[in-house]
């Protein structure tokens, strides 16, 4: 999943399918925070989205998403060359300013109160703490790695000693909340209670990821051991704190069977993971020479969500621990020739876009769809949609597609839905609302 999705766009699709299960969906039960606990609704909040997109934690309250989510995954935490979790102000590597230093004014604060210069925790972490106070059932996980920050995962997982030290560092920084001192900010326990667990986003154990990411054949066994080490240390710390509920542990996992087999001992890791989020997008990307679907529910002979689910089920994953990934963005091509509806046709390159060529937020694509310039096309059997104006094509998920996908989740007894990323939704949370209603059968 991405530290900047920019790195993903130049890479050919590295995902494949997984989704046919059994087991009826659990009966809906709501906790004190008003969340439907039958299904997980996991949204990624991007550290860098607070800048150009100006998407603050408070916006999750304003657009109604906070009351519909069960989990927020904070993207991302990085792994140092020494195999440790770390933060700081290192361009391209860590952003403590966004995480816990940056003061928020009253208008951008969840509780409506401006940060002061003396408080030890500010920035996104403090806002997440405030959001959790208003939604007691909401859990926040720190997501480690992503496409650009998986560079040193293989080294960190290499030996029993390196795994132990790596996990200790992550728990110390994020679970115990012992942040580096930055002026008045940080210090021992400053972020304690912000995070309820850890999400492992190693892309990918045992196979190629970003250009500088190390991978080894032994990553598969080492990832299994790393998951076990996280589970062991998280449980031990919970016991030491007399915590009534355990810290959660999840992982983002690929769609391509070759990548699954290279890096994931499915039956063993699923014993220690509370759930996995499935890559349900980037099946095809705008760097490819022909237009193609990026997130189809079903696609004969091609990558698809259904195929991804099936691949994980066949390898022993329980259906109720599989959380379907959904894109809140689109992949786009320009210079499309060949006529017709544009799908499967040659293109000259990625389409111009707001933040990165070939990648556009749903909120911008909705405006294109409403402009009258583009025609909306649908493959109803395949469960995907695209926009085409005769030259430029965007493949994306809209509320109608998401209704089909949530119906699939309920039908097959899956664990829920995940979305990348929350800052790409509309100001009124249109996609989040569609997913929430769909999982409730409405």
Looking at every residue in the chain, the average pLDDT score rounds to: 93
Is residue 354 over pLDDT 90?
Answer: yes
**20, pLDDT greater than 80:** no
Task: Name the residue with higher pLDDT: 428 or 16.
Answer: 428
Q: Please say whether the beta carbons of 415 and 39 come within 8 A.
A: yes
Are 169 and 144 in contact, with CB atoms under 8 Å apart?
Answer: no
C-alpha 79 chain-centroid distance: 17
If pLDDT is split at 50, 70 and 90, which confidence band does 271 have?
very high
DSSP, res 372? S
98-132 per-residue burial string, b: 16 or more CB within 10 A, e: under 16? bbbbbebeeebbbbeeebeeeebbbbbbbbbbbbb
CB atoms within 10 A of CB 212: 10
Average pLDDT over every residue of 273-291: 98
pLDDT of residue 18: 33
Q: How far apart are CA 62 and CA 183, in angstroms?
A: 31
Collapsing DSSP to helix, strand or coil, 334 comes out as strand
Is there a catalytic annotation at residue 430?
no
Q: Which residue has the tokens 């001192």?
A: 181
pLDDT > 90: percent of the chain: 91
Q: Which CATH architecture has domain 6-328+399-439?
A: Alpha-Beta Barrel (3.20)
Tens of pLDDT, residue by residue over 54-88, are: 999 999 999 999 999 999 999 999 999 999 999 99
Q: In the chain, where are the structural domains located? A: 6-328+399-439
Q: How many CB atoms neighbour CB 187 within 10 A?
A: 15
**Which helix (H) or strand (E) element contains residue 95?**
strand 94-95
Q: What is the pLDDT of residues 289-305, one digit of tens each?
A: 999 999 999 999 999 99
pLDDT in tens, 151-198: 999 999 999 999 999 999 999 999 999 999 999 999 999 999 999 999
Q: Which of 130, 134, 203, 218 is catalytic?
A: 203
| pLDDT, position 34 | 39
Strands (E), 193-272: 197-201, 248-253
Beta bridge partners of 388: 375, 393
Burial (Cβ within 10 Å: 0-12, 13-18, ≥19) of residue 340: exposed
DSSP-based three-state secondary structure for 50: helix
Which helix H or strand E contains 77, and what residues bound it? strand 71-79
Q: Tokens 């590597």 — which residue?
A: 93
Structure tokens at 82: 């020494």
DSSP H helices, 10-110, are 58-62, 96
pLDDT in tens, 117-136: 999 999 999 999 999 999 99
Give me the pLDDT at residue 1, please. 52
Which pair of tokens denotes residue 146?
A: 């992503």
Q: What is the pLDDT of residue 95?
A: 98
300: Cβ contacts below 8 Å, ≥ 6 apart: none
Percentage of the residues of the chain whose pLDDT score is greater than 70 = 92
């Amino acid at each position: 999943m991405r530290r900047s999705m920019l790195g993903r766009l130049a890479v050919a699709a590295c995902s494949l399918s997984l989704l046919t299960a059994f087991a009826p969906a659990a009966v809906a039960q709501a906790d004190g925070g008003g969340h439907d606990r039958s299904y997980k609704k996991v949204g990624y909040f991007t550290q860098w989205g607070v800048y150009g997109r100006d998407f603050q934690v408070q916006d999750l309250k304003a657009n109604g998403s906070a009351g519909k989510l069960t989990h927020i995954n904070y993207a991302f935490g990085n792994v140092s060359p020494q195999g440790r979790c770390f933060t700081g102000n290192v361009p391209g590597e860590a952003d403590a300013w966004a995480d816990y230093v940056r003061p928020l004014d009253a208008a951008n604060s969840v509780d409506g109160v401006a940060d002061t210069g003396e408080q030890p925790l500010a920035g996104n972490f403090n806002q997440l703490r405030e959001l959790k106070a208003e939604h007691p059932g909401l859990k926040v996980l720190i997501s480690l790695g992503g496409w650009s920050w998986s560079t040193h995962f293989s080294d960190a997982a290499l030996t029993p000693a390196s795994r132990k030290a790596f996990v200790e560092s992550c728990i110390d920084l994020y679970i115990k909340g012992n942040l580096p001192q930055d002026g008045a900010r940080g210090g021992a326990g400053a972020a304690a209670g912000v995070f309820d667990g850890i999400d492992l986003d190693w892309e990918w154990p045992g196979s190629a990821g970003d250009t500088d990411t190390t991978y080894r054949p032994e990553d598969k066994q080492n990832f299994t051991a790393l998951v076990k080490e996280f589970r062991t240390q998280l449980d031990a710390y919970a016991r030491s704190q007399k915590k009534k509920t355990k810290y959660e542990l999840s992982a983002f996992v690929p769609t391509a069977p070759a990548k699954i087999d290279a890096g994931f001992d499915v039956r063993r890791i699923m014993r220690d993971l509370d759930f996995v989020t499935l890559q349900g997008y980037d099946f095809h990307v705008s760097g490819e020479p022909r237009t193609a679907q990026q997130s189809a529910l079903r696609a004969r002979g091609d990558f698809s969500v259904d195929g991804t689910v099936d691949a994980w089920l066949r390898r022993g994953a329980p259906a109720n621990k599989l959380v379907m990934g959904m894109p809140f963005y689109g992949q786009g091509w320009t210079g499309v020739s060949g006529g017709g509806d544009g799908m499967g046709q040659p293109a000259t390159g990625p389409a111009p876009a707001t933040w990165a060529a070939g990648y556009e937020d749903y909120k911008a694509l909705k405006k294109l769809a409403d402009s009258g310039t583009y025609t909306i096309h649908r493959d109803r059997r395949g469960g995907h949609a695209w926009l085409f104006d005769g030259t430029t094509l965007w493949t994306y998920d809209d509320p109608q597609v998401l209704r089909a996908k949530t119906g699939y989740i309920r039908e097959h007894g899956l664990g829920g839905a995940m979305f990348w990323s929350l800052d790409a939704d509309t100001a009124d949370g249109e996609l989040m609302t569609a997913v929430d209603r769909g999982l409730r059968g409405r």
